[in-house]
Chains A and B, each alone.
Chain A
Amino acid sequence: QKEVEQDPGPLSVPEGAIVSLNCTYSNSAFQYFMWYRQYSRKGPELLMYTYSSGNKEDGRFTAQVDKSSKYISLFIRDSQPSDSATYLCAMRSGAGSYQLTFGKGTKLSVIP
């Protein structure tokens, strides 16, 4: 079993839908949780960054972390065709750590 599990999809939704993306993890040392967006033939781009448990909102994006369940989510409201991409969750442990452990990514298509 990998440290970070993420359903690869693909996930296809109509424009305007609410999208829910999720990851589970097994390493209880993870404290920092990130979501990256990766367009085809591009490098990952940081979307959301959360420390420990709780919610964080940025525009149409909301990240949730439940450390007790080892489960993180990214919600996208009012999804747009431009949101079509692969979404990668990533995690790292303590404040001095730098190694990111990624999920395999979920491919999202938002259909106009």
Chain B
Amino acid sequence: GAGVSQSPRYKVAKRGQDVALRCDPISGHVSLFWYQQALGQGPEFLTYFQNEAQLDKSGLPSDRFFAERPEGSVSTLKIQRTQQEDSAVYLCASSLGQAFNEQFFGPGTRLTVL
């Protein structure tokens, strides 16, 4: 079953390190989303891509967060100079066609910053 996959599943970083989180959406899905889910909270929107174009990055919490999807399929969320408050699960979701169709979520990457 080709669902959304994310890697790594778990990442421990020392404060100040850079990290890169990968998302492989469902094949053919045009829209891709990143969400941040803090412990005990619901997911919060970070950014949205339609194919390779980043159409909305209003949810990125600081300029340390950067996302790309250069070929319109795989996406990478990069966090520079990680801080303890960046510790969360980072979820990727994709949807077929228009962005407002059903979003299918991956299992997430759990980032712990020490």
Interface residues of A (CB under 8 A from B): 4, 6, 8, 32, 36, 41-46, 49, 88, 90, 92, 95-105
A102/B42 contact (C-beta < 8 A), A43-B4, A43-B91, A95-B100 known: yes
Give the residue of A41, A45, A46, A104 whose beta carbon is less than 8 angstroms from that of B42: A104
Main secondary structure of the interface of A (DSSP, over half): loop
Identity of the chain A residue whose Cβ is nearest the Cβ of B43 in the assembled complex: A102
Main secondary structure of the interface of B (DSSP, over half): loop
Give the residue of B43, B44, B100, B106 whose beta carbon is less than 8 angstroms from that of A98: B100
21 contacts between A and B (CB under 8 A): A8-B40, A41-B107, A42-B107, A42-B108, A43-B107, A44-B91, A88-B43, A92-B100, A95-B100, A98-B33, A98-B56, A98-B95, A98-B99, A98-B100, A99-B48, A100-B43, A101-B45, A102-B42, A103-B42, A104-B41, A105-B40
